[in-house]
Structure 1
């Protein structure tokens, strides 16, 4: 009996000890630990962040455009917000994307689907100072009349070689050579054309649906321009992507242009056609200066346009007339033209290939009759052409 009583007295103590241990164990499980997303969640977040970054870049591009562009309209006709109120409050593009998810490829698509974004940006615009380069470009644009392409008289070709042009498909030996070219040390060099080098790492961007890098586009257009004036070809010069970067940074009338042109031995007015590749963000386009038709053309495989780009190039041509030929103002008949009756891409990765083919076809005076379905073939051809340093005609 004494033993049982002892057990009864010790039982509450044991229970109390058990509760204390359980409390300690429970408190241990309540420790907050940092949240670690899974790999799939990280990829989703990264894709979403890239999308938002792209939107922000496009919005910055809109707000940096000149006042006298096609995006302007009368205050009485501007679009209200989705709620019916146009109070000019802060615009959250993230909220718009969540409320109305869409797939857009160009700036025009974004503005078309989000009229309130356009309205808010127009309200926030400030008129640039009179001394700024942007105002000079804007004034040049305001004096221009963008000619619809349907009204443009096509320039007569200097030759009829395009009539005998054929679509070239690589044969077995050439396809095996292409496979060999993309395999091996990525740092291996394949030579230069002028001052444009190329390595295997660069050529690999032509595989699959990879975006082309600057080296491939610069090298290929330099290859196009190398045949300038030979065998009845047009006299063509191709600027590198560095040209438009400098034009955007320094402006069209910077004193360094004269030294820059002399160092490159660029006889500006002796060419029939000048090619200007432009890489903005994640998209390739091509701008051309055609001295025969006095037209500055903008070729975008997504069907877009860039008024600021056209204005800068126009102001640069105007500056060249003033400094090289002492002709002020520049001769009549010059116009800017965003080309809209051209082949269009059907994905988000072939813009670089389209820009290169635009340059090749225009330099050869061929009709722009290729399609998205030929892009895979063009990629293989470009690898072969870059390696052999000879264009396929």
Structure 2
């Protein structure tokens, strides 16, 4: 009994002690250590300033005048974005130097030029690339120097074929249509021969049915078929690269030492031709690039109306490299330009891009006006099956 009473007497005291301890711990807002608040934006600004300082250090090595990298400058005072700074030493500043800075990460080249206006000014004044630059640097330099020519300012090349209107581009007739239907039936691995090193099988030809996407073998074979007429009476001298060309160009670059051996092994003398056809495969889309030595134009034909500046830059650098190695002409002759073609037939679905690319090659090689439309694609598919099987283009 005494023990229980003692417990009853001590319990309230323990409870009071707990309440006192709890009440002392409540005011948690008091912190003994010093604290300076800092926002995420301020931290990002500090990081960005460090990056700009890194670039500025590099600028001092390649330019006699350092660039102002103050992040707090008023945007309204940056007048050099659309103009040219007269004080920039254009003989020293190079865009290659900026892109070498691995710590600097900009989303676009325009963002780099925006923050460093002297670079933009120097590029407007000096549009040449160094001969000792690597392939990536060369392409970047070309992209900043190439000027896209408006198609409306180009004078059309007169066709050497006065009877181009007599061409047949529509429905196949009786026996031809029956032959096409029979070609599609049978073993898919059956071979239908080859042109050069471009083979073709029934499985490949079946990609021309309906709205199926064309595979590499069909596009390569058809353009090789177009180029086979090269040099015949009334036809241009045409060469067609396969899709392997762009793959190698992307992997090795336009100035790799293996190009001379590769061109010699394939027995390709680039300057012997009037027109070069280059199929471009962008994963799920086909386009066609051409090198026209008559008009000195690198053209990009895309049935969706888009363009690929990096592709044009690589091919431009490749042609420049060929001039330097095969003709000992450096820099390349004046008048060369790149042209993204927009006034051309456009596709109205997501599956006929390969057919458009093949027809672009055929029409350009034969100097026909690009006057076909989306409505003709079903007939073009049937014609291509017949042409591939007979290895003869329909006129």
The verdict on a shared fold, with TM-score over 0.5 as the criterion, is yes
Q: Report the Cα offset of residue 324 of structure 1.
A: 0.3
Q: Report the Cα offset of residue 382 of structure 1.
A: 0.2
- Contact between 1:203 and 1:216, CA under 8 Å: does it hold in 2? yes
- Normalized against structure 2, the TM-score is what? 0.67
Q: How many angstroms apart in 1 are the aligned matches of 2:302 and 2:207?
A: 20
Q: How many angstroms apart in 2 are the aligned matches of 1:274 and 1:126?
A: 35
Secondary structure in 1 aligned to 2:250?
helix
Change (3 A) 1:310 1:123: closer
- Equivalent positions of 1:133-282 (< 5 A) are 133-282=135-284
Secondary structure in 1 aligned to 2:108?
helix
The runs of 4+ residues in structure 1 deviating greater than 6 Å are: 123-127
- Contact between 1:235 and 1:272, CA under 8 Å: does it hold in 2? yes
Partner of 2:309: 307
Secondary structure in 1 aligned to 2:357?
helix
Change (3 A) 1:125 1:250: farther
- Equivalent positions of 1:37-76 (< 5 A) are none
Q: Which moved more, 1:255-264 or 1:133-142?
A: 133-142
Q: How many angstroms apart in 2 are the aligned matches of 1:283 and 1:363?
A: 22
Q: How many angstroms apart in 1 are the aligned matches of 2:218 and 2:194?
A: 11
Secondary structure in 1 aligned to 2:384?
helix
Q: Report the Cα offset of residue 134 of structure 1.
A: 2.1
Q: How many angstroms apart in 1 are the aligned matches of 2:162 and 2:170?
A: 18
Cα deviations by residue, 1:216-235 (Å, 9 ceiling, x for unpaired): 00000000000001121000
Change (3 A) 1:247 1:125: farther
- Contact between 1:343 and 1:369, CA under 8 Å: does it hold in 2? yes
- Normalized against structure 1, the TM-score is what? 0.67
- The number of equivalent residue pairs is 275
Partner of 2:108: 122
Determine which structure has more spread, i.e. the larger CA radius of gyration. 2
- Contact between 1:190 and 1:199, CA under 8 Å: does it hold in 2? yes
- Contact between 2:169 and 2:380, CA under 8 Å: does it hold in 1? no
Q: Report the Cα offset of residue 175 of structure 1.
A: 1.2
- Contact between 2:168 and 2:394, CA under 8 Å: does it hold in 1? no
Partner of 2:374: 372
Q: How many angstroms apart in 2 are the aligned matches of 1:310 and 1:210?
A: 28
Partner of 1:88: none
Q: How many angstroms apart in 1 are the aligned matches of 2:212 and 2:227?
A: 25
Query: Which residue of 336, 345, 348 corresponds with 1:346?
Result: 348
Secondary structure in 2 aligned to 1:278?
strand
Change (3 A) 1:166 1:384: closer
Give the aligned CA root-mean-square deviation in angstroms: 2.0
Secondary structure in 1 aligned to 2:235?
coil
Secondary structure in 2 aligned to 1:121?
coil
Partner of 2:25: none
